[in-house]
Every structure is written in C-alpha cells, then in structure tokens.
Structure 1
C-alpha cells in the first residue's frame, strides 16, 4: 500500500494568491442521519459546494473533492466539439476556501478541475487522482503539480496525520482506494474513445476514515464510497464482492445523466441518470446515499427530481439525504477503545480554534 503523511498545521491555504486565512464556510443547513449519531455526537463533516465539489473534514484533516468553482454562464470544454455551460454558482468561491490538506480528483475533466482551479492551486498541494490525470498534471513544465499520487482501480493509499510527538496508540488515518468507473458505455464507442482519448478515464473512490498504529495496521471507523462519473457497468459489481461483510456507511453518487454532445443533440449518456442511480443504491447497499453532481451544467439531462421520484418508487426514501449547495452533513467516525482523545484530536481542536 502507498503512504502519504499530512501535517495539517503546515498545509497552508490552497491557492497561490490566498492572502489571508479564511474560516471554514458556515453551512446554510446541517443534516445528520439518526442511525449514525446525533448532531452533538458527530465528529466529521461533509460540506457540499456544488457539482462534485465537497469538503470532507475529520480529525483536523480537510480533503477537497473534484474542485470546480466556475459560475453560472461560464463554459467548460468536455471533449472534441463538446462544451457545457454552468447553470449554478458554487456555495463559495475558490478564494474563500479555508486550509485544505489534499485534493481528491476523480478525473481530469473541466467540470471537475476547471481552468481557474488549475491556474490558481498551489503546485505542492497533494492531489490524489487517476494515472491519466497524474500525467496531465505533471506534464506542464514549470507549472507542473509536484505532489500528485495516482491510484488505479483497487489500488490503495494510506493518508496518515503527522505525529506531533504526543503519546497515542492509534493515530487518525484515511485509507483511499480507487474504485472502477466508466464514462463511456462498453462497445464500439468505448473502443473508439480509447483510440481518440476524447473522454478521460475516471475513478470512483472508497474512503475509509479510521485509526492506525503502524504500517498496514488500519481500523476502519466510517466508510464512504464515491461513485465518480460512471455509468452502471459490470465492473461495479466487484465492489460489493470485495467489501462483502464490510459495511458501507455512505455513498456519494454522481448523477445528472450527463449527455453529449449536449442538450440540443443528446446522443450519448456518460453519467448515471435517476434509474441507474437507484440501481447502484441497490447494488452497493450503503446505509445512506447523498446525491451530488446533478444540475450544475446544461449537459445534465436527468434532474434531481427524477432521482427523488425513482427513490420513492423503489421504497428507498429513508436511505437518502439531500443536500443543497452550502449544506453540510455531519456524521460520527467510530473509534476503537485504543483510539481515544490524543495528540491528533487535540490538533483538530487547535486548528478549529484558529479558524483555518
């Protein structure tokens, strides 16, 4: 397994031109899931910015997913002759981000890593992504990103919090594993795309929040599956097989029914629509699902209302929490008896009081 050590006290702000410390953005609405924990018992937060962009915060660590901070009316390039127009604004602007410790990037596409983000992010900010995206991010000459970590399907990286010298048996740790995903359906179009490289390869992710007391000694406390931009393909069936007997607490599902070339000529769907989204819920069977990536661009043809209807018809409404931009979801990462309050938890409290 690969390893990455993060020191939140020295991570700094995410962009090159950040000039002042920013507080963590205040949520419009906070939601919890009663089967996990009451709000006062939670210790982790997922903040929804828009598209597939979220901030995951736990034990002083902040991970930013698929950063896209364009505004309504801005355009993105999605492939040869294919573009999309943003319909919404993000909950916050790029310059309003607080300290970020790492970026989790599902694939190298402008609606997940826009030109503004690419220009402004600090080059040394750790980015965990696909092998294809790594080659793109490291191939920019003097503007190359310098801390890119690639994960292929079912390859894992353990992110550890730097030990500040405190005494604690187990330290907060995050295990990130690449999950399969396909933007283009199997068949002749997929073969053509492999040759033309029009639509980039994409990953899903399994994020396991937990504690470790040494290399390869990891205990999971909360498991999050992020689907990434994928269709309902056979490769996804391997996920419940690999995690048989291991509970998946939360699924973040990329929806929208993205159709290219665009709304005027919807020839090919490249992300899940409502029907496929429900099928994925039934396949993965998480305790809870939160839909994201559902209405931000004009190439999204399956609105959130379609998914809500399909969920209701499938009898799964009690297993879904809906977030609007600027909403947050709070949850509890389970701790074993040997991973109580220690130096890393104290670090989280210290960082919180510094509002960074």
Structure 2
C-alpha cells in the first residue's frame, strides 16, 4: 500500500490497483471559512499535490461534507474525478441531488455499521464498512452533524487492510470499534480542533487520545493526518510528534509521519 499525504485530512491511497482519496481539500491557503455558531477558521497551507497531479480515482472516502476542512470548494469540484463517493447518509443526499453543487451520479450514504462492496475490472473486491465517529461532545451533534470513518478490506481478508478514522473524538463507541479492528494501516485524524467561542471543547482527537486509540486498534502502521494547514487545529504536527515520541514502544513504532506530497510504502 502506498499513502501520499496531501494536506489536512486529504490523502491518496494506492492499494492493489485501487486509487482511494480521503476528504478532498484542494483550495489554496489564505481564505477564512465559516463553521457552525459563528465559528471560523483560516486555511494556512495549500495542498501538497494538485487535483491534476492526482488525476482520476476509484473512490472518495468523505467523512462528512459540511465542513470546509474536510471538503472545500476545489474538493467538491474534484469529486467528479471519482467513480464512487462514500460518505454519510446526509452527505449522500446533499451531494447527489441534481440541483445541488455537485450532483455526482454515484454517491452512497453510510451510517456506522453499514457496508458496501465495490468491484472493478482486474481488481480485488473492496468492502468498506462505516465505523463510528463523534465530532465533539455528545450535545454538539445537532451543530456539527454526522461523521463516519471507514474500514476497508480486500477480497476475503480476515481483517481490514485500511482504517480511516474520520474526524472524531475518542469515546466508548470508538474504543470498542478500535479494539476489534487490528487493521494493517490506520489513517488517524488528530489536530485537537477547537474554537475560541466554545473554549476547551475539542472536536477531534489530540495526539494523547490517538495514542490510546492506536494502542487499542493495534495497526501495523498509523499515519497521522488532519494536523496542519488550518488555524483551528490547536495541536499541530510538531506538538503532536512530541506526544507520539513519548508513547509506549508499540505505539511509537507503529506511528509513521508521511512527508507532505511524498508517497510512502506502508502495511
């Protein structure tokens, strides 16, 4: 498996012929985007690779559609390059509507526990199971909306080859899912998203929570993403790296930082 970290939550995964893109964010830096309740964030870093560099993909794994740090304007345009888009049920409804901003012909909505099997010529079948996410404290869901992660298995493999956590805090439902996972590779969203308006509330994991999650899931390799490029990421790469460096040996050895724009071989 080859993973290329593009920036923010965006990564290109190339795996046994499948080309998989996560949470497309391709706008240039400098713009401030509005979020719920009057919160906002400035994009500080552009993508390490352009949409033209990446080209067509088989599937986009979109953890949620309604926040620009997971799907920005250029990312929405880029969805047309994907044969299939997998996202939340709400996201599928919004992105597949003919009158909507995308109108993609094959957007499929999943809730945690739902699965879909994708097939393509000369490629092994790819089964995707939606995994649980909670994008903040329990009472914030009406504001932040639904999010999903994705566990991917090739053919009749006994365990997932890839898990993309999606934007989530650490909570019991995610702990249970992680303990049953044991993927070969985990792409772990961190960044400790916070806004001045909501004070100490976090909307994604910090590195300390990710250490616990990785210890539970026991991936062969864990690739951190969603950690740079936006002003509302309160714990960015250098700070997160220090936390991982002080983790127990099994976690420390599994974490592998992917340099922006450079493919790495994992798994």
TM-score (norm 2): 0.89
**2:115 aligned partner:** 156
- Once the 2 structures are TM-superposed, how far is the Cα of residue 80 of structure 1 from its aligned partner? 3.3
Whole-Å Cα distance in 2 between the matches of residues 304 and 322 of structure 1? 9
Please identify runs of 4+ aligned residues in structure 1 that moved more than 3 A. Answer: 240-243
Task: Tell which deviates more after alignment, 218-227 or 64-73.
Answer: 218-227
* 2:83 equivalent to 1:138: no
Larger radius of gyration: 1
2:207 to 250, 274, 295: 274
Whole-Å Cα distance in 1 between the matches of residues 214 and 264 of structure 2? 19
In terms of fraction of residues, the more strand-rich structure is 1
- Once the 2 structures are TM-superposed, how far is the Cα of residue 238 of structure 1 from its aligned partner? 2.2
2:230 to 297, 304, 307: 297
Whole-Å Cα distance in 2 between the matches of residues 222 and 182 of structure 1? 21
Q: How well do the aligned residues superpose, as a CA RMSD in angstroms?
A: 2.2
Q: How does 1:224-239 map to 2 (within 5 A)?
A: 224-239=162-177
**2:137 aligned partner:** 185
Q: How does 1:205-216 map to 2 (within 5 A)?
A: 205-208=150-153, 210-211=154-155
- The aligned length equals 263
Instruction: Describe the SS at the equivalent of 1:291.
Output: strand
- Once the 2 structures are TM-superposed, how far is the Cα of residue 240 of structure 1 from its aligned partner? 4.0
* 2:4 equivalent to 1:52: no
Unaligned runs of 5+ in 1: 1-43, 164-170, 212-217, 333-356
* 2:259 equivalent to 1:324: yes
TM-score (norm 1): 0.68
- Once the 2 structures are TM-superposed, how far is the Cα of residue 123 of structure 1 from its aligned partner? 8.3
Whole-Å Cα distance in 2 between the matches of residues 159 and 120 of structure 1? 20
Whole-Å Cα distance in 2 between the matches of residues 329 and 127 of structure 1? 24
- The 1:80/1:96 distance shift into structure 2, 3 A limit, reads farther
Q: Which has the higher contact order (CA 8 A, sep 6+)?
A: 1
